[in-house]
A and B are shown apart, each in its own frame.
Chain A
Amino acid sequence: MMNCNSQLAQRFWKYGRLEDCPVLDFHGHMGPLAGGYLPACSPEDMLKIMDRANVAMLCFCSHQATMVPAAGTSGDIAVVQKYPERFKAYHSVVSRHLDPERDLADMEQYPDVFVGFKFLADYYKVPISDKRHDPYWEYADKHRLLVLVHTWGGSDYNCLRHAEEVLERYPNLIFIAGHSFHGKWEGAVELAARYPNLYLELTAVLDDRGVLDYFVDKLGSERILFGTDLPWFATHHGIGAVMSADITDDDRRNILYRNGKKLLERFPWFEEFWNKYGGGAF
């Protein structure tokens, strides 16, 4: 039964997906990975996994876009254009191969494709607060975009300190802390309490029992976003963890879709998309 204290958990357990509880996944990738075998990394295989859990939408940045600068984001654009109601993309910010003019032109040209940017500074070994990134942060701030940042507690490139250096300069963008500054849970909550545009995202957090419980206890559930790193981690594993935490069903709904809905409402395409999922019924 997974959690005998939660009606929502018991229904998820029984059906695997709930029409009245869609899921918005804010941390995805796509395509093969150098460091491991991903058996379900094509858009179509990912859609099958999403359908089984009623994941309405995945915001992603493919491995190609983050790791193969020569290929750029064309693949991501094509996927979103093929499945506009299921995928939206973060434009990669490949710190050592930046071309702001080209990248921001992409953003202007494809407003229905991109929801913002993806930073992966640990991999590029350039701090997110490095001035070379300023054009991206400025653009995101000006347009109130979402910025998914890979964050990690002990990082030299995207830890709490680097995030604060960005947050104090850019109050209008939405800073999504991918992995929630992994390991520095207390600091993550404190930083989120100080900056209302900072959201904690749960990829690679949900395999640690108690962290979500702690976040909700200290911060509340309104600033937490669901994410799985799909095609890395199984969507049902993540949902199972959310259902297992010692939080309320209202908290679970906030995390799975309500908070995400509030963020995505800023995009013109959202209303039509959301109405297809029942609109305000939940």
Chain B
Amino acid sequence: MDFFDCHVSYGMDIADSQLYPVHTIDRVHAEMKRAGVKNAVVWRIESAGAGPPIGNALLAEDLKKYDNMYGVWALLPPHTHEIFEPDRMLDEMKKNRIIGWKLCPAAARFMVRPFALKPWLELGVRHNIPFFIDTAHGTSLDAVADLLEAYPELTVVLTDANVWPNDRNLRPFVAEFPNVYLDLSYCITAGGLESFVKEYGASRLLYGSRFPYSYFGANMMMIKHADIDEEDKVSIAGGNMKRIIEVMNL
């Protein structure tokens, strides 16, 4: 079973007081090896704290060292022209092994509304580019709903930063929108995998650890020993994330 982690970050956070922070991609790589994680989607936390232009550039440079990691760049509304323009973005993503976008509106101070992000949303739908949306960074579930109601085909990897059992909020997204995937980083309810897979199948769930804020191994163990078919475990562990990348057309 190959694990492809959809939620890994690293970098130097000026505000966070994490006990054992992970500053470099080298350390991420070493910890992945220790845990047996084959691939990961990563972003640099400076994309929030220092802004997307800086964080995205640092990430692109780091990714040159490790081909088992894929990057996610943070977006801004295109109106201020601070990051690559939409017509150049796809080439730059391809060149730098970037496979999706993040939104950090709390740090970057912008509105998550369809009209503010329209060119990115249109590009995302046209090219199957996933938006990795984590409510921890300031996009509420209501805002995610607004985006999806405007662009129902949008691919969204949804992280709800909340360990409370949250199926009442998350299942309607999966039921309503065909390209919404749930990052399991915070979805750790007992029996939750089994219950979800029984109703919706395994194709919409992604292994995510939230490393370095959580251990790689906690959710790996939860998936490996869930009471579901082996084939479903393989999909959740890495197959689904791999497929999301494969259907992108940059």
B14 CB-CB contact with A under 8 Å: no
Kindly state the separation between the CA atoms of A231 and B165 in the bound complex, as whole angstroms. Answer: 10
Within 8 A of B (CB), among A9-23: 9, 12-13, 16
Kindly state the separation between the CA atoms of A39 and B227 in the bound complex, as whole angstroms. Answer: 13
What A residues does B192 contact at CB under 8 A?
39, 234
Give how many A-B residue pairs fall within 8 Å (CB-CB).
135
Kindly state the separation between the CA atoms of A240 and B218 in the bound complex, as whole angstroms. Answer: 4
Distance in angstroms from B145 CB to nearest chain A CB is: 19
Q: Which residue of B lies closest to A16 (CB)?
A: B225
Q: Which residue of B lies closest to A4 (CB)?
A: B34
Q: Is there contact, CB below 8 Å, between A204 and B163?
A: yes
Q: Size band of the B side of the interface? A: 35 or more
Contact of A38 among B34, B190, B219 (CB under 8 A): B190
A251 CB-CB contact with B under 8 Å: no
Interface centre among A35, A36, A52, A228 (most CB of B within 10 A): A36
Q: Is there contact, CB below 8 Å, between A40 and B218?
A: no
Q: Which residue of A lies closest to B220 (CB)?
A: A2
What B residues does A37 contact at CB under 8 A?
165, 167-168, 189
Stretch in contact with the other chain, from B63-71, B97-105, B206-214: B206-214
Known: A209-B20, A210-B19. A232 touches B189 (CB 8 A): yes
Total residues of chain A contacting the partner, CB 8 A: 48
Q: Is there contact, CB below 8 Å, between B214 and A49?
A: no
Contact of B190 among A2, A209, A235 (CB under 8 A): A235
What B residues does A231 contact at CB under 8 A?
189-191
What A residues does B249 contact at CB under 8 A?
none
A237 CB-CB contact with B under 8 Å: yes
Kindly state the separation between the CA atoms of A274 and B167 in the bound complex, as whole angstroms. Answer: 37
What A residues does B195 contact at CB under 8 A?
39-40
Kindly state the separation between the CA atoms of A48 and B166 in the bound complex, as whole angstroms. Answer: 22
Within 8 A of B (CB), among A191-218: 204, 206-211, 213-214
Contact of A241 among B34, B189, B215 (CB under 8 A): B215
What A residues does B166 contact at CB under 8 A?
36
Q: Which residue of A lies closest to B193 (CB)?
A: A234
Q: Is there contact, CB below 8 Å, between A36 and B168?
A: yes
B80 CB-CB contact with A under 8 Å: no
Using an 8 Å CB-CB cutoff, how does the interface string of A75-86 with B read, 1 for contact, 0 for none? 000000000000
Distance in angstroms from B190 CB to nearest chain A CB is: 5
What B residues does A36 contact at CB under 8 A?
164-168, 189
Q: Is there contact, CB below 8 Å, between B191 and A209?
A: no
What B residues does A207 contact at CB under 8 A?
163, 186, 188, 214, 218
Within 8 A of A (CB), among B26-62: 33-36
B217 CB-CB contact with A under 8 Å: yes
Distance in angstroms from A6 CB to nearest chain B CB is: 10
Q: Is there contact, CB below 8 Å, between B164 and A206?
A: no
A239 CB-CB contact with B under 8 Å: yes
What A residues does B164 contact at CB under 8 A?
35-36
Q: Which residue of B lies closest to A246 (CB)?
A: B20
B73 CB-CB contact with A under 8 Å: no
Q: Is there contact, CB below 8 Å, between B224 and A16?
A: yes
A178 CB-CB contact with B under 8 Å: no
Q: Is there contact, CB below 8 Å, between B190 and A240?
A: no
What A residues does B211 contact at CB under 8 A?
209
Kindly state the separation between the CA atoms of A237 and B163 in the bound complex, as whole angstroms. Answer: 12
A94 CB-CB contact with B under 8 Å: no
Q: Is there contact, CB below 8 Å, between B217 and A38?
A: no
Distance in angstroms from A14 CB to nearest chain B CB is: 9
Q: Which residue of B lies closest to A207 (CB)?
A: B214
Q: Is there contact, CB below 8 Å, between B224 and A13?
A: yes
Q: Is there contact, CB below 8 Å, between A237 and B218?
A: yes
What A residues does B194 contact at CB under 8 A?
39-40
Q: Is there contact, CB below 8 Å, between B34 and A238?
A: no
B222 CB-CB contact with A under 8 Å: yes
What A residues does B212 contact at CB under 8 A?
209
Q: Is there contact, CB below 8 Å, between A49 and B215?
A: no
A254 CB-CB contact with B under 8 Å: no
Q: Is there contact, CB below 8 Å, between B227 and A244?
A: no
What B residues does A9 contact at CB under 8 A?
217
B216 CB-CB contact with A under 8 Å: yes
A1 CB-CB contact with B under 8 Å: yes
What B residues does A16 contact at CB under 8 A?
224-225
Distance in angstroms from B40 CB to nearest chain A CB is: 15
Known: A36-B168, A233-B189. A1 touches B227 (CB 8 A): no
12 contacts between A and B (CB under 8 A): A5-B34, A36-B168, A39-B191, A48-B227, A49-B190, A207-B186, A232-B190, A234-B191, A236-B221, A238-B218, A240-B222, A243-B217
Q: Which residues of A are interface residues toward B (Cβ below 8 A)?
A: 1-5, 9, 12-13, 16, 33, 35-40, 45-46, 48-49, 52-53, 185, 204, 206-211, 213-214, 228, 230-241, 243-245
Q: State the 7 A-B residue pairs at the shortest beta-carbon distance, nearest first.
A: A240-B221, A40-B191, A36-B165, A244-B217, A39-B195, A244-B215, A2-B217
